[in-house]
A and B are shown apart, each in its own frame.
Chain A
Amino acid sequence: MKVVVAVDDSDGSRHALAWVLDHLLVAEQEPEPEPERQPPPELVVVHAHEPLRHIVMYPVGPGSAVYGAPSMMEAVRAAQAESARGLLDRAKRICQRRGVAAEAVAVEGEPREALCRAAADMGAGLLVLGSRGLGAIKRAFLGSVSDYCAHHATCPIMVVKPPAATS
């Protein structure tokens, strides 16, 4: 079964990846895999970032907006791609440290749609998301990727909650 874990730069997604490595992939330690056994789950980490279309920058002082020059956009795009690669590399390293080989994929688009599409395209058996633990009102206004995916993904979804804060 292909397990797809969505990662971004948040604590929630880091916790989700660690959770998956700790709880779902423990079956790796079987000494002699019988041929009829189910193969261990494969892990894919996915990062979705929104593509830049236009940058409009508003200088601090009074004045009109400055339209981003193409070269500037290229620079920002390159920086975005670099940060995506860095994030995925870090995620892969976390997996390797636990002895799990993971594939890393970067997708472009609005995160919630891109994640659902990516999971469908990859034939994922399970899509794992962290959760920011937003309350109901914040979720309505800020939107929740895990909410959207829970309803629109075509495969089973796992939402990993942040560790409970001791109250």
Chain B
Amino acid sequence: MAAAEAAAAGGGGGGSSSSGKPVMVVGIDDSDHSYYALEWTLQHFFTPGGAQQYHLVVLTAKPPASSVIGIAGVGSAELLPTVEADLKRTVVRVIDKAKKLCAEIEMLHDDPAADDLDLLRRRSAQVADVSYETIEGDARNVICEAVDRHHAEILVVGCHGYSYWKRAVLGSVSDYCTHHAHCTVMIVKRPKHKH
């Protein structure tokens, strides 16, 4: 956590990162939608062979254990350390997976000249200019605050694809960020398959 804070403190200031590039923040959690969003972003905005246009910040929020337990009944105090440990493990897993995705971006593109499917998939690349952050708090605020701190140009989030009622009850981070972030917001969703 201290490392994240240090990274956060060092990253602010100015309209861009230390490398002078505009900043793109990708907010992820431990869901398939998020990993898909990160992969999609890497494939389309961090293509190999070209100069990297953005400084990438991969961000995940760790909700405080007390918010997860909520207004539980008796014995919730005993659950706290277990939940806290589990949440910590989750964010470590998320960041590790993000690092792996950034290390090997699989380039999938339709090149009519290439007959060999293996040739299409094997081109991989690496994102050179990327930083990872884990911040404690509610995802909505963490993301919007990070956008302000980095003066990000684009915020990318996945989308759980909740229905109207689910969104009303569970809340939607992507909804909140679209309305409250102070930059362009890109919501990446899995393409729906037409039946």
Contact = CB atoms under 8 A, between A and B. Distances in A.
Most A CB atoms within 10 A — which of B49, B53, B111, B187?
B187
A23 B24 CA distance: 12
A35 B187 contact: no
A38 B107 CA distance: 9
Given A23-B153, A164-B182, A154 B44 contact: no
A146 B40 CA distance: 21
Nearest to A152: B192
Nearest to B43: A38
Interface string A58-90: 000000000000000000000000000000000
B192 A154 contact: yes
A71 B195 CA distance: 42
Name the prevailing secondary structure of the B interface residues: loop
Contact of B185 (A30, A35, A153, A159): A159
A143 to B, nearest CB: 14
B101 interface: no
A161 B183 contact: yes
Interface in B152-195: 153-154, 159, 174-175, 178-179, 181-189, 191-192
A136 B187 CA distance: 19
B50 A35 contact: no
Contacts of A158: 154, 184-187
Number of chain A interface residues as a range: 20 to 34
B188 A156 contact: yes
A155 B184 contact: no
B49 A37 contact: yes
16 contacts: A27-B50, A36-B49, A38-B47, A39-B109, A125-B44, A126-B44, A147-B178, A150-B187, A154-B191, A156-B188, A158-B185, A158-B186, A159-B187, A161-B182, A161-B184, A161-B185
Which 4 pairs, one residue from A and one from B, show the smallest C-beta to C-beta distance? Answer: A156-B188, A154-B192, A158-B186, A37-B49
Given A157-B187, A158-B154, A159-B184, 15 more contacts: A27-B53, A36-B107, A36-B111, A37-B49, A37-B50, A38-B47, A126-B186, A155-B189, A156-B40, A156-B188, A156-B189, A157-B186, A158-B187, A159-B185, A161-B182
